[in-house]
Structure 1
Amino acid sequence: MTRRRKAILSTVGALLGAIAVLAVVGSVRDTHVVTVTRSTDADKDVLWKLWADVPARPEWDKGLEYIELDGPFEAGSTGTVKVEGQDPVDYEVVAVHPKERYTDRFNSLPWTHTDWHHEIEPNADGGYDVTWRLETRGPLSLFTLPVLKAIFGEEIPTAVDEYVALAESRS
C-alpha cells in the first residue's frame, strides 16, 4: 500500500470516527438550541389560551402557514405544522401541565427530534416570565445544530414577542 493511500485511509477513518462520536453524543444527551424568555403582565389564563388554541397560532407566529392538532391539547395528541416555504412536519404533544408548561416534539430528521418547551412562571414583579426553550436529540442533532440555531435564533424571539403582545392586548 502506498504512503498516499495510507494517508487517505487514515483521514477517512478519522472522519468516520469523528462522525460516529458526534452521532453517539447527540443520541445520549439533549443539545440546547435556543432559549427566549420575556416578562409580561398578561393574564395567565390568556397566555395559556393562546397556546391551547393551536389552529389560531399563525395569528401570532407569522412564520406558520398553518398548524393542526388531531385531538385535544393534551399529551399524546399529534398534529401537523406547515412553515412557509417548507414541507409539512408532524409533531406530538408530549407533556401538558395546564397554565404552567407544555412540550411538543418534532421528528423532522431520521432518529432525531426537537423538543419545544414552553413555560409560564411567576416573576418577582407580580407578572409572569414566558420561556420557550428548544432542545434537540438524536444522531443527527449535532450536525443540524448550526442550522437550527440560525433559523430559530432569529424566528423564536419574534414569535415570543408577538405572542406576549397579543396576550397583553387581550388581558
Structure 2
Amino acid sequence: MTQIAEATATSTAAPAAFFAKWADMATWPEWNQDTEWVRLDGPFAEGSTGTLKPKGGPKTRFVIEKLTDTEFIDVSKLFGARLTFAHHVETTDRTTVTVRISIDGPLGWFWTKVLGGDLAKSVGADLNALVAVAEGVPA
C-alpha cells in the first residue's frame, strides 16, 4: 500500500460533529473542493456502498470498509486499484482529526500518477474546511 497524502487538524468540535458531516454525504461538496456529488445507497454504516463523482472525473463506487466511534474508512474501487481514505478522530482537550489517503493494487502506480498530486494538494484544505463546518463556521 502506498500512502499518497496525510493531513491533521485540531478542532474545538466534538468527534460526533465530524461523524455527522461524514454521514451527511450529500453535503460533502460544501467542504471537499474535489467532489461534485456523493450518494450513499443505504445508512452510514460499515459495509454500505455509494457513488462519488469527483469534479472532472468519472463516477466511482465506494464502500464503507470500517466505521467505529474513532474511525471511518471508505474505499473507492478504481480499475486495477483501491483508493482508501482513512479518517481518524481522537480527543484530549481538543479533537484531532487525521485523514490518510493510500492506494494499493496492481495499477496503484498509475492511479498515483493520475490522482496523487491533486489529492496531496487538496487534502489539507479539505480537512480545514471540514473543521470549519464542524465548528459551525461557513466554509
1:120 alignment partner in structure 2: 89
Unaligned runs of 5+ in 1: 1-29
Residue 117 of structure 1 and its aligned partner are, at CA, apart by 0.3
CA distance in 1, matches of 2:77, 2:85: 11
CA distance, structure 2, for counterparts of residue 82 and residue 149 of structure 1: 17
For 1:102, the equivalent position in structure 2 comes to: 72
* Larger radius of gyration between Structure 1 and Structure 2: 1
- CA positional deviation for 1:63: 2.2
Bigger strand share: 2
TM-score by length of 1: 0.75
Superposition CA RMSD, Å: 1.4
AA of the residue aligned to 1:62? Q
Identity of aligned residues (%): 28
Partner letter of residue 39 of structure 2? E
Number of residue pairs the alignment of both structures matches: 137
Q: Distance in 1 between matches of 2:31 and 2:65?
A: 22
Identify the residue that residue 59 of structure 2 maps to in structure 1.
88
Which structure's residues are more often helix, by fraction? Answer: 1
What is the aligned counterpart of 2:128 among 155, 161, 171? 161
Moved over 6 A (4+): none
Separation in structure 2 between the aligned mates of residue 86 and residue 143 of structure 1, nearest angstrom: 15
SS at match of 1:76: coil
Contact 2:15 2:91 in 1 (8 A): no
